[in-house]
Amino acid sequence: MRSVGVEEELLLVDARTGDPRALSAAVLAAASRDPRGNEEMFESELHRQQLEFATRPQTDMGDLDKEIRRWRAEAARHAEGLGASVAALATSPLAADPAIGTGERHRWLAEHYGLTVQEQLTCGCHIHVSVESDEEGVAVLDRVRPWMSVLLAMSANSPFWQGADSEYGSYRNRVWGRWPSAGPVEVFGSADRYHELVGEMTASGVLKDEGMVYFDARLSRTYPTVEVRVADVCLDPSTTVVLAALARGLVETAVRQWRDGEPPARHSVAMLRLATWRAARSGLEGQLIHPAAMRPAPAEAVVRALFDHVRDALEDTGDVLPTQEALAALLKTGNGARVQRDLLRSTGSLRGVVTECVRRTLV
């Protein structure tokens, strides 16, 4: 059974006001003093208002769920001593003045990318699924391309930007798309071609290194995994878990297609970009672009098409029933973007939204 690991970026906010706070260094220092010795699970990010953690690889989705909840709680515990909280929000609902990290890499990014870096206070979710080789991994990348927009729509959790409604489900995706290497990519055909393109991109001088290859899904530089990077960080941990189950299902389904000699769909990058925009704009409200026909279809039908596409793989891992139940709940209650907008209507303020989202992050 393929293992799955998750990286989540969390927003550090003032426990009283909900405003983003540049405390990542202090939180990491608190974690380093913890006798439990869990500091290696946390990392700083581009902005000091962010904190990232990574779970250990898991094969059981229930264990992955426990890991995510555990590290969210640990992050909150370390932040609490500094008068802060953590929120699984992909953008800050309240206006923010992002503080860029002080490391050499961060300084290089600020110098080369200007306002793009300043405005990158966004939090994503990265899902790592194990593969046996680069060749297998690239076969997966070639075959999962059309489905990335569906995962984005399900995870959409960033409707607000600088104190206003962006009218997008995932405005994080629109901000993230300003990076020159971000988004959907072509069919590679082989691991050699993948590595050749990555080498060409880094040799251009536009990217600092391979770590800046921000494809929606890529081969990990660090682990023997395919890394799915398209999702917003999810407000509800159960949404992260269902995304992880579907991502593993997509990887396994793609490998089976590859082994059976089934070629990948040849959708153009231009069409995939339209599907990504539609998913970022609409989330699970209204229509998405169906990954097979590349035509509009109701969001619920597209999500069910994804489930049907990976159902055999889910059967083999025992994930069919829990995934069905999680998808039904998600389609009923909505993604994080819908929840945040509902909270604004009920609380009457964006500060109230942040307060409730802090609570839900740890539920």
Which burial class, exposed, middle or buried, applies to 66 when counting CB atoms under 10 A from its CB (0-12, 13-18, 19+)? middle
Asked if residue 9 lies in contact with residue 233, where contact means CB atoms within 8 angstroms, the answer is: yes
CA pair distance 27, 39, nearest whole angstrom: 10
Q: What are the pLDDT digits (tens) for 208-253?
A: 999 999 999 999 999 999 999 999 999 999 999 999 999 999 999 9
- Non-local CB neighbours of 290 within 8 Å, separated by 6+ positions: 296, 297, 301, 302, 305
Q: What are the pLDDT digits (tens) for 76-86?
A: 999 999 999 99
345-363: b (≥16 Cβ within 10 Å) or e: eeeeebbebbbbbbebbbe
How many degrees, rounded to 5, is the angle at CA 276 between CA 8 and CA 6? 15
Which amino acid does the sequence have at 326? A
Separation of CA 156 from chain center? 9
SS3 59: coil
CATH of the domain at 246: 3.30.590.20
CA pair distance 211, 278, nearest whole angstrom: 27
**Residue 210 DSSP class:** G
| Residue 344 domain boundaries | 4-361
- Cα–Cα distances (Å) from 353 to 48, 207, 349, in that order, read 22, 37, 7
SS3 20: strand
CA pair distance 28, 251, nearest whole angstrom: 33
Domain count, the chain: 1
Asked if residue 49 lies in contact with residue 97, where contact means CB atoms within 8 angstroms, the answer is: no
CA pair distance 323, 304, nearest whole angstrom: 11
What are the residue ranges of helices labelled H in 183-298?
A: 191-203, 237-259, 269-282
pTM confidence score = 0.97
Give the distance between the most distant pair of CA atoms in the chain.
Answer: 57
Instruction: Give the number of other Cβ atoms within 10 Å of residue 55's Cβ.
Output: 22
363 residues of the chain, pLDDT tens digit each: 999 999 999 999 999 999 999 999 999 999 888 777 665 789 888 999 999 999 999 999 999 999 999 999 999 999 999 999 999 999 999 999 999 988 899 999 999 999 999 999 999 999 999 999 999 999 999 999 999 999 999 999 999 999 999 999 999 999 999 999 999 999 999 999 999 999 999 999 999 999 999 999 999 999 999 999 999 999 999 999 999 999 999 999 999 999 999 999 999 999 999 999 999 999 999 999 999 999 999 999 999 999 999 999 999 999 999 999 999 999 999 999 999 999 999 999 999 999 999 999 998
Q: Give φ, ψ of 290 to 5 degrees.
A: -70, 130
Separation of CA 261 from chain center? 30
Which burial class, exposed, middle or buried, applies to 219 when counting CB atoms under 10 A from its CB (0-12, 13-18, 19+)? buried
- Cα–Cα distances (Å) from 251 to 62, 96, 245, 296, in that order, read 19, 37, 10, 25
How many degrees, rounded to 5, is the angle at CA 152 between CA 194 and CA 161? 115
CA pair distance 245, 310, nearest whole angstrom: 10
Q: Give φ, ψ of 213 to 5 degrees.
A: -85, 95
Asked if residue 247 lies in contact with residue 151, where contact means CB atoms within 8 angstroms, the answer is: yes
Q: What are the pLDDT digits (tens) for 110-130?
A: 999 999 999 999 999 999 999
